[in-house]
Each structure stands twice: as structure tokens, then as C-alpha cells.
Amino acid sequence: ATITQSYQERASLPNTSPVASYLLRLIATKQTNLCVSADVSTTRELLQLAEEVGDSICMLKTHADIINDFGPRTIQGLKEIAAKKHFLIFEDRKFGDIGSTVQKQFTAGPLQIVRWANIINAHIFPGPAIITALSQAAHKPPLLRSLLILAEMSSAGNLMTGSYTEQCVVEARKNPEFVMGFIAQRSLNEQPGDNFVTMTPGVQIGATGDGLGQQYNTPEQVIIEAGTDIIIVGRGVYGAQDKRAKAEEYRVRAWKAYEERIGP
Ligand code: 5BU
């Protein structure tokens, strides 16, 4: 189904969360299904990377808790660059606690994630209340925010398989307004009517792993063979000397793979 449909077509299907519709249109317009993972340790490096790769990406993924000097300057800078270069911000916080606690982690503390991240993710091992709790916190005051459920991981020996992954899909289908899709290693759109966005980390050209459990696939393996929508690339891009050129290289590879998948 969604495997052969264009991003543009999928943007206006029913059962598509507002953020997913916006993102799918953005991807089609900018011709990029690349998300860069900005795992750097200072605000300066983060903003510099965002500037350099901004034209080549649909989304910037952050780990705000690894930025030494994260603060209002980081938030303002990120927001400005995202608006200027037209990409969304995804904080890879991987919430995984009771509803009351994740609401505080989402809205309070030094990071105040709800203020600047368009997209967040969560594990569902604590049970489905994590979804309603995050949704509630995003909607007072009303902000356009969306959730990716962590359905599969890229690391060797991870336990997110089989019925656990299936349950992620079941919970996502119950919350189509707030849940835009999954972090997974393959498309999980299995039922007619499913239009979830699948984002896939563990992508690098010319490497198979990092010696700490990470496992890499190529853009083609992920987009064509596994049928996912967006590749997430960290070290493959920010580890390069010329980050702008590297991001563009990944963008072209992933976009060509998508065009090959949907066919003429
Ligand atoms: P890399 O440098 O491309 O290996 O970085 C991958 C990023 O994606 C990094 O920020 C991880 O925290 C993140 N990640 C992942 O690698 N695998 C997963 O299954 C999930 C997140 Br979920």
C-alpha cells in the first residue's frame, strides 16, 4: 500500500496526523527523506551543523541532554534555523515512565522539550497511558506536536521484536491524531488504511557497525528493501569533514531509492 505511494499522495490520506501531513508535504517539496542526528556536545556545534545540513534535510534529530551548554540560546537558535531552512525538530528523548513523570520530563526541567521539539518518541513498555499523558501535555497550551512510538531498534540483540512490536502498532492505530508513526527497521503499515511514517536509524554508507552494538544498513536497504520513509544518519554525516556535502550525498541516495521504490 504505502510502499508504492508517493509522499505527496500520502500527505492527504485520512488517518494521517497533522504533523505527518505537514512533514510528508515538506519531504515532497524539498525532495529529502533525510533526517540528520545531531549528536554533538555544544550549542555552537549544534547550530553550525543545523546551518550546514539544513537545506538537505526534512528533520534534525537531537539529544538535548548531551549538549553541555543547552539553554535558551540553543532553543532560540534551533527554532530560527528550522524556520529559515524548513525542517522539523525531533528530540530523541525516548520517554519511558509513568504518565505523570513523562509529563514533567516533557514540559519542565532545563530542557523544556515541549517548547521546541515538533516530534518526540516514547517506549510503550510502561503501558499505553504514556501516549495519552504526552498528548495531554502537548495540548495545554495547544501546540502542534506528534509522537513516534519506538517499535524496533537498530542495536544488536535488542528485545523489541515480535509481539512487542505488534503491540506498538495496535496502540498507534488507537491514537492516529497524536501518533504519526514509528522508529523501526521496516515499514509497519500492514493493514489497509495504515499510513504511519517510519523513521529508521542505523544508516551509514561504508560501515557495518560501531563496536558498541550499533548495526548499519545502507539507504537502499532501508528505503527499498525495508520500505521505510526516512533515514536517520548521525556519524555518517556529522563525522565527515565536509558535512554539507555528506548530507547532500545521503539525501540524493535516499531520494533515488525512494523514487526507485515507488516506480514511474
Ligand atoms: P549514528 O551515529 O548514525 O549511529 O547515530 C544514530 C542515532 O540514532 C543516535 O542518536 C542514536 O541514539 C539513535 N538511535 C539509534 O541509533 N538506534 C535506534 O534504534 C534508536 C535511536 Br531508537
* Residue the block writes with cell 528505503: 223
pLDDT digits (tens, 9 = 90+) for 232-244: 999 999 999 999 9
pTM over 0.95: yes
Question: From the CB of 235, is ligand 1 less than 6 Å away?
Answer: yes
Burial class (CB in 10 A: 0-12, 13-18, 19+), 219: buried
Question: From the CB of 99, is ligand 1 less than 6 Å away?
Answer: no
Q: Contact, 152 vs 185, CB < 8 A?
A: yes
User: At 200, phi and psi to the nearest 5?
Assistant: -125, 115
**Does 69 participate in catalysis according to the annotation?**
no
pLDDT for residue 15: 83
Question: From the CB of 153, is ligand 1 less than 6 Å away?
Answer: yes
pLDDT for residue 140: 73
Ligand 1 geometric centre to CA of 138 (Å)? 24
Query: Running DSSP on this structure, what letter comes out for residue 198?
Result: E
Catalytic residue among 30, 55, 84, 97: 97
Residue 1: pLDDT over 80: no
* Residue the block writes with cell 531552512: 85
What number is the average pLDDT over the span 115-138? 98
Does 235 carry a binding-site annotation?
A: yes
Evaluated on CA atoms 127, 16, 2, 36, the torsion sign reads negative
pLDDT for residue 139: 85
- pLDDT-derived band at 9 (thresholds 50, 70, 90) equals very high
pLDDT digits (tens, 9 = 90+) for 13-50: 988 999 999 999 999 999 999 999 999 999 999 999 99
Catalytic residue among 55, 85, 94, 256: 94
pLDDT for residue 192: 93
3-state secondary structure of 81: helix
d(CA 57, CA 77): 17
Question: From the CB of 183, is ligand 1 less than 6 Å away?
Answer: yes
ipTM: 0.98
Catalytic residue among 92, 229, 243, 246: 92
What number is the average pLDDT over the span 123-141? 94
Mean pLDDT of the chain: 97
pLDDT for residue 253: 98
| HSE-up of residue 50 (Cα within 13 Å, Cβ side) | 28
pLDDT for residue 121: 98
Atom nearest to 183 CA in ligand 1: 22
Q: Where are the alpha helices (DSSP H) in 64-193?
A: 72-85, 99-107, 129-138, 162-174
CA 166 and chain centroid, separation:
19
CA geometry: angle at 85 spanning 82 and 86, to 5°?
70
pLDDT for residue 83: 98
**Does 55 participate in catalysis according to the annotation?**
no
pLDDT digits (tens, 9 = 90+) for 82-111: 999 999 999 999 999 999 999 999 999 999
Which carries the bigger pLDDT value, residue 249 or residue 14?
249
pLDDT for residue 143: 83
Burial class (CB in 10 A: 0-12, 13-18, 19+), 251: buried
**Does 97 participate in catalysis according to the annotation?**
yes
pLDDT for residue 45: 98
pLDDT digits (tens, 9 = 90+) for 135-194: 999 987 778 999 999 999 999 999 999 999 999 999 999 999 999 999 999 999 999 999
